[in-house]
A = this chain, B = another copy of it.
């Protein structure tokens, strides 16, 4: 399944890159300017996740958020960092803080999803 370049895909990625944060489908749709179908945005996001371009975070509001994999290379495991969800500005930022845990070898670890929820430093000021 070879990928094709489309304006839609580029627009979605561009929004995420310029925001620098993890965004939900709804937030992307608001920011993107052009009119793109909801289902299409989800499909674009899912494909980017499959390709390792984005990573997915599920916050404790039950929604999916997507962020550009900046440091997601073979050295630093993609999802093993904390995320901070601000309840005020409705954004999620990737924290540099890595997630450490030890688990018996009997367990097979596939994904790690860590979200701290509260008020971010920008919103806490005002």
- Complex copy number for this chain: 2
CB proximity to B under 8 Å, residues A83-119:
84, 87, 95, 97, 99-104, 106-119
Q: Distance (Å) between the CB of A63 and the closest chain B CB?
A: 7
Size class of A's contact patch?
35 or more
A64 on the interface (CB 8 Å rule)? yes
Report the bound CA distance from A83 to B71 in whole Å: 25
Q: Is the CB of A102 within 8 A of B97?
A: yes
A39 on the interface (CB 8 Å rule)? no
Give the residue of B62, B99, B104, B115 whose beta carbon is less than 8 angstroms from that of A121: B104
Give the residue of B64, B104, B114 whose beta carbon is less than 8 angstroms from that of A113: B114
Q: Is the CB of A60 within 8 A of B58?
A: yes
Report the bound CA distance from A72 to B87 in whole Å: 24
A66 on the interface (CB 8 Å rule)? no
A-B contact pairs, 13 of them (CB 8 A): A59-B113, A60-B113, A84-B107, A99-B101, A106-B124, A106-B125, A107-B119, A107-B121, A108-B119, A110-B118, A110-B119, A111-B116, A111-B118
